Amino acid sequence: MKSYDVAIIGSGPGGYVAAIRCAQLGMKTAIIEKYSTLGGTCLNVGCIPSKALLSSSHHYEEATKHFEDHGIEIPGEIKVNLEKMIGRKQAVVDQTTGGIDFLMKKNNIDVFEGLGSFVDATHIKIEGKDAQEIEAKKIIIATGSKPSNLPFITLDKERIITSTEALKLKEVPKHMIIIGGGVIGLELGQVYRRLGAEVTVIEFMDRILPTMDAGLSKELNKVFKKAKCKMMLSHKVQSVERHGDEVIVKAENKKGEVVEFKGDYCLVSVGRRPYTDGLNLDAAGVKMTDRGQVEVNEHLQTNVSNIYAIGDVIKGAMLAHKAEEEGVFVAETIAGQKPHIDYNLIPGVVYTWPEVAAVGKTEEELKADKVEYKVGQFPFRALGRARASGDIDGFVKILADKTTDEVLGVHMIGARCADLIAEAVTAMEFRASAEDISRMSHAHPTFAEAVKEAALAATDDRALHV
């Protein structure tokens, strides 16, 4: 039987990063993955493939709608070759997952393919290609999450689908009905809207992106409406039925009326659930929460002292970069170091166009906590760089403590916000004030100037370009 210092179950961003950090710290490390490729949901059927399709569909939209404005004329009809687009997406995925294989070899990490399950607190049975049993002093559970469903919906994975199937359709839908106005539904909805599908988003809450700052939700809702997406807010789905190639969705609006929607595809995008199936946690004595998560303490340690858990399988936002931070945190904790994670400073991003990004507290949270704050907001349309590229939708909003001027939250929607949010995270990590940011030189012309201007607006309403 092979023995290890650390064994990790699951090879997503949390698991493979934990493995690398453990190996860097001198531990003999193994990683167990039930699928034939490493990388988990994010690299195989999540973050990476969805961004590839978002990029391809964005190019198509630019070519069909905006190239002419730039003086670029393309003779003949511009067509979508969906098979080639999906093929490119898969090539990106294959290259990325192959990169993880390389990193495992580089760091001398043993990779086992098969379903890992606990025999007891220090032994893992692997069933599959590499069927055997291994022993480990420490074990990290990093098994991630799976798409959630509503109890009355039968997913046939052909017409009534999850995000996994939506990433490999063989045709552009005529009418895609999306249940759920969260990140995944909106990103994939924008992909297929750009490619020509009619898109209807049905959301139970009174706004899309309900966990983000309300100002961002309102602005992105405008963008989707401008793209002629039907945004059905405050609608409770009652039934989803398939009849041949047609899907019929019935939902109740806030007036109590039942509304019927007909399409050829229905994407069920109502969040994700922790995935612990087949782990046999009882054999190790690991406790679960009533929400199906693995229960952990502030050190991400389960009730069994040598077993840890990270990522989507525990409490907190289901984000790849959160899982990565936790993977490093646990590796360093096992090594006797004293690492730190500030969960308030883990940014959230929506990769629509315009992009949406946020870190820290929302206005709603500050009001609920009775914190006195001030707001500085700056529109992208006032930026020279935004006008030059034609990306004028959106704004940057900075929330700062009314007394100390410390930045408490930054919320932005606009071009390149997925990258711009890192500036806000850096500033908040060092407890910067709005004035600190406003006094830093930002290159001109750039989208980043919107951050400086919003900081100026929060500092005695001093924005220069509005």
Active site residues: 444
Report the distance separating Cα 395 and Cα 410, nearest Å. Answer: 11
Query: How many Å from the N-terminal Cα to the C-terminal Cα in the chain?
Result: 69
Q: Which two tokens stand for residue 344?
A: 């308030």
Provide, for the chain, the percentages of residues in helix, strand and coil under a 3-state DSSP scheme, each rounded to the nearest 5.
35, 25, 40
Give the three-class secondary structure for 31. Answer: strand
DSSP string, 189-229: HHHHHHTT-EEEEE-SSSSSSTTS-HHHHHHHHHHHHHTT-
Report the distance separating Cα 461 and Cα 454, nearest Å. Answer: 9
Report the distance separating Cα 172 and Cα 197, nearest Å. Answer: 6
Yes or no: say if 418 and 349 are a contact pair by the CB < 8 Å rule.
yes
Q: At what angle do helices 82-106 and 47-61 cross, to 10 degrees?
A: 140
Report the distance separating Cα 192 and Cα 352, nearest Å. Answer: 12
The H or E element containing residue 355 is strand 355-360
Report the distance separating Cα 423 and Cα 441, nearest Å. Answer: 13
Q: How many CB atoms lie within 10 A of CB 155?
A: 17
312 residue type, one letter: D
Report the distance separating Cα 396 and Cα 159, nearest Å. Answer: 39
Nearest to 88 by CA among 38, 37, 54, 46: 54
Report the distance separating Cα 312 and Cα 272, nearest Å. Answer: 9
Q: Phi and psi dihedrals of 359, rounded to 5?
A: -150, 150
The full 3-state SS of 269-338, as one line of letters, equals: CCCEEECCCCCCHHHHCCCECCCCCECCCCCCECCCCCEEECHHHCCCCCCHHHHHHHHHHHHHHHCCCC
Measured at the CA of 35, the angle between CA 33 and CA 36, to 5 degrees, comes to: 105
